[in-house]
């Protein structure tokens, strides 16, 4: 038997409603903040992610699904949303739209990860991007949207952690001292960290290897090296969060896994299992890096699987078949389908699609818990009346064989 590929999952029909609850809440939240949905391709040219995510990141170095298409172009399945959205922003000239350009998305991502709880190879992210403003108010807006969304889906047991990772100006000085610190023990770091020392030493702080995490204890923190502008920006963010009563901790360990972040970075971390459920930050350098104009931006992404693991099992939304129309013989199907078509504007209606016997149809209607049963036979068609039965109470009524009369009696049963 062929099994699903490692790191993927089936979302079966009796659990998809849980995903829909989250996605509906997300859509409502984003729309209330004035964001519209964007949809972009599942795959892009590999270069987009190498340049946009950064070629010293775990995502690019270890986790991308990259292959050559039949014409020999290097293609990569999207590992995250921001690079593709920024590409679309530049390519479609969206800078000529009212600024800031604000969009949200919900899409599957692909990363070749070590599969474990909360870590898949195909997973779903819900996120947003606010492009075109350098104000700290946009950072606040992103955090506020995230916070509102998490509250809406009743995820309260999370901690907001924020940090500033500065801009290229303050980073230059910081990277020098960080390099010195790491260099003292460079032989003990993993090979990936070693290779990052010269190109991008801050990545070393994000290493997941236990030994590197230990070696990183006591490393200099960038907060001590922020330039005046970055310092003021971060102070403004913190002050506004306080005014909005959004609790946070400053955590200098938050550096984020992608290269394009600047200034504010943030994560919402589950208290229950320590997982980051939502993460984001400012990425003022990315749009220029991808050949657009120098344009500041901020955004975040939440992992849908991780959100779901924090939400208690809720009962499925009522999704019952409200009427099953059974036919004695197949030549009554035309009438059944006519009535069903009209009634489906208002309620859930099923009819036989298996050429089953009348008795087998009744059995099926029982099994699925159909709320009402209408029986059509030769007599019924001739007299233009039929019996409708409320399956719960057993109550029966004679109705005219038209949608109005059937609908009225279903309402009366309730």
Contacts with ligand ATP by CB under 6 A lie at 80, 111, 113, 118-120, 123, 125, 257, 276-279, 301-303, 305-306
CB of 61 to ligand ATP, least distance (A): 12
Q: Are strands 372-376 and 385-390 parallel, antiparallel or unpaired?
A: antiparallel
CB of 203 to ligand ATP, least distance (A): 11
Helices 403-413 and 333-343: crossing angle, nearest 10°? 60
CB of 310 to ligand ATP, least distance (A): 11
Residue 383 Cα distances to 139, 330, 386, 409, angstroms: 69, 18, 8, 18
Q: Are strands 101-110 and 74-77 parallel, antiparallel or unpaired?
A: unpaired
Neighbour count for residue 359 (Cβ, 10 Å): 9
Q: Please write down the long-range contacts of 207-213, taking CB distance under 8 Å and 24 or more positions apart.
A: 208/58
Burial 165-177 (b: 16+ CB within 10 A, else e): bbbeebbeebbee
CB closer to ligand ATP, 89 vs 268 = 268
CB of 120 to ligand ATP, least distance (A): 4
CB closer to ligand ATP, 10 vs 228 = 10
Residue nearest to ligand ATP (CB): 303
CB closer to ligand ATP, 51 vs 306 = 306
CB closer to ligand ATP, 284 vs 305 = 305
CB of 121 to ligand ATP, least distance (A): 7
CB closer to ligand ATP, 30 vs 324 = 30
CB of 269 to ligand ATP, least distance (A): 9
CB of 263 to ligand ATP, least distance (A): 16
Backbone phi, psi, residue 277, to 5°: -95, -25
**CA distance linking residue 64 with residue 30, whole number of Å:** 29
Q: Is 192 exposed, middle or buried (0-12, 13-18, 19+ CB in 10 A)?
A: middle
Contact between residue 127 and residue 277 where contact means Cβ atoms under 8 Å apart: no
Contact between residue 401 and residue 339 where contact means Cβ atoms under 8 Å apart: yes
CB closer to ligand ATP, 119 vs 238 = 119
CB closer to ligand ATP, 128 vs 301 = 301
CB of 325 to ligand ATP, least distance (A): 44
Contact between residue 125 and residue 301 where contact means Cβ atoms under 8 Å apart: yes
CB of 128 to ligand ATP, least distance (A): 12
Q: Which residues neighbour 31 within 8 Å (Cβ) at sequence distance 6 or greater?
A: none
Residue 61 is classified by DSSP as: I
Residue pointed to by tokens 């306080």: 242
CB closer to ligand ATP, 253 vs 377 = 253
- Alpha-helical regions (H) of 129-184: 136-152, 168-183
Residue pointed to by tokens 């039929």: 386
CB closer to ligand ATP, 63 vs 371 = 63
């Amino acid at each position: 038997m062929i099994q699903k590929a490692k790191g993927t999952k089936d979302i079966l029909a009796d659990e998809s409603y849980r995903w829909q609850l989250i996605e509906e809440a997300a859509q409502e939240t984003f729309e209330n903040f004035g964001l519209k949905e964007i949809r972009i391709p599942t795959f892009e040219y590999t270069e987009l992610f190498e340049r946009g995510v950064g070629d010293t990141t775990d995502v690019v170095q270890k986790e991308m699904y990259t292959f050559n298409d039949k014409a020999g172009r290097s293609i990569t399945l999207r590992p995250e949303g921001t690079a593709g959205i920024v590409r679309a922003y530049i390519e479609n000239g969206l800078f000529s739209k009212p600024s800031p350009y604000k969009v949200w998305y919900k899409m599957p991502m692909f990363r070749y990860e070590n599969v474990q709880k909360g870590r898949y190879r195909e997973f779903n992210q819900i996120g947003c991007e606010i492009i075109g403003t350098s104000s700290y108010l946009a950072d606040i807006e992103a955090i506020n949207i995230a916070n509102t969304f998490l509250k809406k889906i009743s995820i309260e047991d999370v901690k907001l952690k924020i940090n500033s990772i500065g801009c290229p100006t303050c980073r230059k000085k910081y990277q020098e001292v960080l390099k010195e610190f790491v260099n003292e023990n460079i032989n003990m770091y993993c090979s990936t960290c070693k290779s990052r020392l010269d190109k991008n030493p801050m990545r070393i702080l994000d290493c997941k290897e236990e030994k590197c995490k230990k070696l990183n204890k006591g490393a200099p923190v960038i907060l001590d090296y922020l330039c005046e502008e970055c310092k003021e920006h971060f102070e403004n963010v913190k002050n506004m969060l306080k005014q909005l009563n959004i609790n946070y901790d400053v955590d200098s360990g938050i550096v984020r896994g992608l290269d394009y972040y600047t200034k504010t970075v943030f994560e919402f971390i589950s208290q229950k299992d320590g997982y980051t459920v939502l993460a984001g930050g400012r990425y003022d350098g990315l749009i220029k890096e991808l050949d657009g104009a120098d344009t500041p931006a901020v955004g975040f992404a939440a992992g849908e699987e991780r959100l779901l693991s924090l939400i208690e099992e809720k009962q499925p939304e009522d999704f019952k078949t409200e009427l099953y129309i059974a036919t004695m013989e197949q030549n009554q199907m035309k009438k059944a389908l006519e009535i069903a078509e009209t009634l489906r504007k208002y309620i859930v209606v099923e009819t036989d699609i298996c050429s089953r016997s009348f008795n087998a149809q009744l059995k099926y209607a029982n099994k699925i818990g159909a709320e009402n049963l209408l029986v059509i036979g030769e007599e019924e068609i001739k007299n233009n009346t039929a019996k409708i039965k409320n399956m719960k109470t057993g109550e029966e009524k004679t109705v005219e064989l038209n949608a109005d009369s059937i609908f009225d009696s279903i309402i009366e049963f309730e």
